[in-house]
Amino acid sequence: MQKSLIIISNSNEIKTLQKKIAKQKKVLLNLSDKIELLTMEIDDIEQQYRVRIGSLQVKDNMLEIEIIRARKILELMEVGLTREEATEEVLQNLKNENKYEEDINFTEGSIPSFLFDNNKDEDVSIKKLWKKLLHAFHPDLTQDKAEKKRRNEIVKKINTAYRLGDFNTLRNVEEKEYLTLEKNESLSSISKLQETLISIENAIIHQVSQLDKLKKTEWYKWVIISNKKRESLFLNLESKLQFQVNNKEKLLHTLKNKNPISRFSYAFRNEDSK
């Protein structure tokens, strides 16, 4: 009789722990969804900013450098150097100073293609499958180190495919990994259930911290405004930068086509006129 009561008591405790695990598991997965989606949204906005605004900023900075260089060349020409000699000296000085050597290359092609995809039905299908797989393979839902490592790799693959709108890769993961996933892990013992609950609760604390960090980034303010306002800000910044770039291009063209009279030649002509 006593043995029977112990079994019932253990069974009740196991059920209680399983319910707590299920509840906390939902909290963890919801947090994980928010973090992944927010991270992707921030990445997309940052990428668009770099392509649309950053590329103009780079061009503006490079034109500023060219203008300084062109003015220096004119100064050297005024003291008697030819354009070729002045250009060579300026370039040599820049090389010696090891300045302005930035390798920045923003191209429109680097924007993920799904940003321009208007197929909403396909987007919904991809998102639904992505969430399904992400929930199934969340690394914090297993205690086994080898399995946790394997899941981390799968989650990376899942997230990359979602970012690129690669539905086929997600389907392949579903067919090869998800269908063979061991859904019922050995959680029969109370101690194992307790370990799992603690692990999930610790993961929740970590996820809350990660979400808070994302909300403190400089890009988060671009996320919380409406798409219409964001586009308006982008257009305004583009317009201002393009205006600056156009003016600097005109100035640079003027400087490059200017042929100053050498001070020595000017002095020599004055001497002759006397």
* pLDDT of residue 49 exceeding 50: yes
Most confident of 106-115, 159-168, 217-226, 263-272: 217-226
Q: Where are the domains of the chain?
A: 20-111+238-274, 114-180
Report d(CA 4, CA 24) in Å as an integer.
Answer: 30
Confidence of residue 111 (pLDDT cuts 50, 70, 90): very low
Residue 163 and residue 126 in contact, taking contact as beta carbons nearer than 8 Å: no
* pLDDT of residue 209 exceeding 90: yes
* pLDDT of residue 5 exceeding 90: no
Identify the pLDDT of residue 236. 94
Confidence of residue 143 (pLDDT cuts 50, 70, 90): confident
3-state secondary structure of 172: helix
Identify the pLDDT of residue 45. 92
Q: What are phi and psi of 119, to 5 degrees?
A: -80, 90
Residue 37 and residue 127 in contact, taking contact as beta carbons nearer than 8 Å: no
Identify the pLDDT of residue 188. 56
Mean pLDDT over all residues of the chain? 79
3-state secondary structure of 81: coil
Identify the pLDDT of residue 90. 85
* pLDDT of residue 187 exceeding 70: no
* pLDDT of residue 235 exceeding 90: yes
* pLDDT of residue 211 exceeding 60: yes
Residue 54 and residue 245 in contact, taking contact as beta carbons nearer than 8 Å: no
- Averaged pLDDT for residues 69-81: 88
- Angle 2-49/120-136 helices, nearest 10 degrees? 140
- Tell me the per-residue pLDDT of 25-43, one tens digit each, with 9 for 90 and over: 899 989 988 998 999 899 8
Burial of 169 from C-beta contacts in 10 A (0-12 / 13-18 / 19+): middle
